[in-house]
Amino acid sequence: MSTPVKYGDISREANDLFTKDFPLDGVKFDAKTTQKSGESYSLKTTYDKSGVLTAPEASVDLKFRHGISSTIACALDASTLSASTKISSLAPYFKVKGVSSKIDVKVPLDVSAGKSPEVKISADYVHPRFITSGAYDHSKEALTADAVSVYKGFVLGTQVGVSAKTFDVTKYEGTVGYTYGKLAGAVALTDKMNSVSAWLFTALTPYMDTVFQAKHDLRKTTTFVEAATKFYYDNDTTFKAKINSDALLGLSAALQVNPGMKVAFSTSTNCSQVYK
We report the CATH number of the domain holding residue 269 as 2.40.160.10
Q: Where are the beta strands (DSSP E) in 112-246?
A: 118-126, 130-137, 142-151, 154-163, 169-180, 183-190, 195-205, 208-217, 222-232, 237-244
Q: Quick check: is 1 in a domain?
A: no
* Claim: this prediction has a pTM higher than 0.75: no
Q: Quick check: is 177 in a domain?
A: yes
Q: Quick check: is 197 in a domain?
A: yes
pLDDT score at 92: 44
Q: Quick check: is 264 in a domain?
A: yes
Confidence of residue 175 (pLDDT cuts 50, 70, 90): very high
H helix or E strand, kind and range, residue 54: none
Query: Backbone dihedral region of 110: left (phi > 0), alpha (psi from -120 to 50 degrees) or beta?
Result: beta
Q: Quick check: is 2 in a domain?
A: no
Is it the case that residue 132 has pLDDT exceeding 70? yes
As for how many domains the chain has, the answer is 1
pLDDT score at 36: 66
Structural domain of 133 = 7-273
* More confident of the two residues 201 and 61: 201
Of 153, 147, 144, 154, nearest in space to 130 by CA: 147
Radius of gyration of the chain (CA): 21
Distance CA 155, CA 13 (A): 15
